[in-house]
């Protein structure tokens, strides 16, 4: 198909594309309404060595990865449950709500806690971050002063939780994009079903690569089915 033919298809079936796009977008927005909102609070810590030395800096980078693993462990979740005096959720459940990421180049650790209750998410993030700071301080007391690490919470501690799910803009964009793609596909299918397989002898020649030697005309209509106007008047 040439470009002009695609434009004709779009003009002919544009209403189908628009309708499908609207339906998909509406469905996506409907999913947003049905989803249970989840909120995420973040606490950031910086873990710095007492002196800037290559070997010690590499050790800190390795420790940051270890700290990230510990933050996401069930033992840390259990300690957070005990620190906050929680009855629910259990440590096994709370563990799945805690995520940690080590940013080695900046000696920084990012802790995120997600929950349906924004206040609860912030409390847990603050408790986990504080527990990690205490662990680093306890470990530092056993080290030489020149090799000690210092853990400090940034931004005054855990930040107020913001809604992280559902992501309305992402779902709306997916609904519009998916609707457009589905609408275009349906328009092409409808156009393919509408167009005759062969419309001219030239198309047959282009298709099979052979010249057309003859054609069978369409069957004539029954006699008297469509008489000219003057013939009908004469007959009457």
| Lowest mean pLDDT across 51-55, 130-134, 192-196 | 192-196
Q: Does 58 map to a domain?
A: yes
103 shares its domain with 92? yes
42 shares its domain with 31? no
pLDDT, averaged across the chain: 85
How many domains does the structure of the chain reveal?
Answer: 2
Task: Output DSSP code: residue 73.
Answer: S
- Go through the chain and tell me how many residues it has: 236
16 shares its domain with 65? no
61 shares its domain with 82? yes
Tokens at 220, concatenated: 């004539």
48 shares its domain with 139? yes
Tokens at 135, concatenated: 């662990």
Task: Read off the pLDDT of residues 26-63 as tens digits, 9 standing for 90 and up.
Answer: 998 888 788 889 999 999 999 988 877 777 778 888 88
Q: Does 152 map to a domain?
A: yes
CB atoms within 10 A of CB 126: 21
Reduce the DSSP state of residue 141 to 3 states and report it: coil
> What element of type H or E holds 124?
helix 118-140
Task: Read off the pLDDT of residues 1-26 as tens digits, 9 standing for 90 and up.
Answer: 577 877 887 888 889 999 999 999 99
Q: What angle do CA 185, 189, 193 make, to 5 degrees?
A: 170
50 shares its domain with 131? yes
Phi and psi, residue 56, nearest 5°: -70, -40
Q: Does 199 map to a domain?
A: no
Q: What is the CATH number of the domain that holds 150?
A: 3.30.70
45 shares its domain with 157? yes
Q: What angle do CA 93, 94, 100 make, to 5 degrees?
A: 125
CB 191 within 8 A of CB 7: no
Residue 132 vs residue 189, higher pLDDT: 132
**Residue 229's pLDDT is what?**
44
The boundaries of the domain holding residue 13 are 3-35+168-194
Task: Read off the pLDDT of residues 64-89 as tens digits, 9 standing for 90 and up.
Answer: 999 999 999 999 999 999 999 999 89
146 shares its domain with 122? yes
22 shares its domain with 68? no
pTM of the model as a whole: 0.69
């Amino acid at each position: 198909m040439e470009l002009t033919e695609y434009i004709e298809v779009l003009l002919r079936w544009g209403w189908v594309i628009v309708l499908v796009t609207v339906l998909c977008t509406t469905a996506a927005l409907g999913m947003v309404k049905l989803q249970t909102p989840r909120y995420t609070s973040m606490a950031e810590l910086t873990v710095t060595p007492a002196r800037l030395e290559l070997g010690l800096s590499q050790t800190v980078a390795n420790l940051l990865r270890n700290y990230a693993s510990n933050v996401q462990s069930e033992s840390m979740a259990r300690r957070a449950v005990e620190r906050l005096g929680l009855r629910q959720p259990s440590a096994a459940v709370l563990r799945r709500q805690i995520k940690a990421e080590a940013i080695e180049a900046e000696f920084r650790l990012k802790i995120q806690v997600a929950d349906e209750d924004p206040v609860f998410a912030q409390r847990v993030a603050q408790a986990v971050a504080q527990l990690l700071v205490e662990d680093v301080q306890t470990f530092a007391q056993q080290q030489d002063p020149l090799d000690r690490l210092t853990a400090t919470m940034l931004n005054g501690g855990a930040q107020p939780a913001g809604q992280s799910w559902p992501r309305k803009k992402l779902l709306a964009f997916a609904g519009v994009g998916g609707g457009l793609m589905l609408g275009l596909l349906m328009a092409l299918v409808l156009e393919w079903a509408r167009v005759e397989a062969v419309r001219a002898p030239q198309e047959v020649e282009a298709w099979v690569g052979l010249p057309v030697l003859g054609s069978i005309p369409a069957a004539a209509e029954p006699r008297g089915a469509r008489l000219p106007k003057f013939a009908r008047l004469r007959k009457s």
